[in-house]
Amino acid sequence: MNVKTISTQALKNKQAQKDIILLDVREPHEVSQGYIPLSYFTPLGQLSEESLPANPPHLPLVIYCRSGKRSADACLLLQEKNKNLDVCSLEGGIIAWKEGGGEVVKP
């Protein structure tokens, strides 16, 4: 099964239009170093369909982690459970987001 991905620029555009739900699947100690604004948090090890934020059906779920590996794994996990979920992984994770000038906030 292929994982859909989204570039940092495409994410910036969708974020500005409020066309996505963001989910950070990193561990709490990683999240404490900074996260993309308006993100929900569920560590990959605790991820399930039931743990997802309330998601209007027309909005895709963009999942990210540090570099993109765990978010791709999260997409596969969720798609195995429900093929109708619209999920994609942020290419390069929060590292690429920061390098592309994306906003990061610290708790």
Q: Which of 18, 15, 65 is nearest to 45 (CA)?
A: 65
Cβ atoms of 88 and 60 closer than 8 Å = yes
Q: Which one from 11, 21, 47, 65 is the annotated catalytic residue? A: 65
Helix (H) or strand (E) holding 61: strand 61-64
65 is catalytic: yes
Catalytic residues: 65
